[in-house]
């Protein structure tokens, strides 16, 4: 698969690894954990542009990501969304939300202060996520 990550996604995230279809990213923003799945296809913008098989694989990976967040982080709610207004490359947000987070109960977009995790907290969370994702079939840490 030919694949280049959009520059804004590269700047705002850390790569956790690859599932069979998607690259798994961790947002640097200090809310969440906030994971982003990006199907590894060049110039892909919409889910309905994917083959039926890839749509099904995306749903499998999205559901597994949501389940992982729910099981290991016990959020009050998981927000999943594919907006793509600023970054046209197809990417799906999976955000573990808590009643104590800065944006609750509103959406995270436009309702946070943009704070990022410390480098040490980011490293700890990324390593924990790599370990958790390694339990999923086909996951390759990066």
- Residue 85 belongs to a domain: yes
- Residue 3 belongs to a domain: yes
pLDDT of the residue at 135: 95
The owner of tokens 């808590």 is 98
- Residue 107 belongs to a domain: no
pTM of the predicted model as reported, rounded to 2 decimal places: 0.96
- Residue 126 belongs to a domain: no
Secondary structure (DSSP) of 34-101 = EEEEEES-TT---GGGS-HHHHHHHHHHHHHHHHHHHHHH--SEEEEE---SS--S--EEEEEE-TTS
Three-state DSSP at 54 gives helix
Query: Mean pLDDT over all residues of the chain?
Result: 95
- Residue 9 belongs to a domain: yes
Is-contact 133 139, C-beta < 8 A?
yes
- Residue 71 belongs to a domain: yes
Look at the alpha carbons of 84, 88, 92, 98 in this order and tell me if their dihedral is positive or negative: negative
Number of domains observed in the structure of the chain: 1
Domain containing residue 7: CATH number: 3.30.428.10
User: What residues make up the domain containing 84?
Assistant: 1-100
- Per-residue pLDDT for 2 more than 80? no
Question: Over the stretch 56-104, which tens digit does the pLDDT of each residue have?
Answer: 999 999 999 999 999 999 999 999 999 888 899 999 999 999 999 999 9
Question: Over the stretch 4-43, which tens digit does the pLDDT of each residue have?
Answer: 999 999 999 999 999 999 999 999 999 889 999 999 998 8
Question: Over the stretch 109-123, which tens digit does the pLDDT of each residue have?
Answer: 889 998 999 999 999
The owner of tokens 């339990």 is 135
């Amino acid at each position: 698969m030919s694949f280049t990550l959009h520059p804004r996604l590269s700047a705002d995230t850390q790569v956790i690894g690859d599932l069979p279809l998607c690259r798994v990213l961790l947002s640097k923003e200090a809310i969440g954990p906030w994971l982003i799945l990006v199907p590894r296809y060049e110039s892909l913008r919409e889910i309905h542009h994917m083959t039926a098989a890839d749509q099904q694989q995306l749903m499998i990976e999205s559901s597994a990501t949501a389940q992982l967040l729910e099981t290991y982080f016990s959020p009050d709610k998981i927000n999943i969304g594919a907006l793509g207004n600023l970054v046209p490359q197809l990417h799906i947000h999976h955000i573990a939300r808590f009643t104590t987070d800065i944006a609750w109960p509103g959406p995270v977009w436009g309702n946070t202060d943009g704070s990022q995790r410390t480098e040490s907290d980011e490293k700890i969370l990324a390593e924990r996520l790599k370990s958790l994702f390694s339990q999923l079939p086909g996951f390759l840490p990066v």
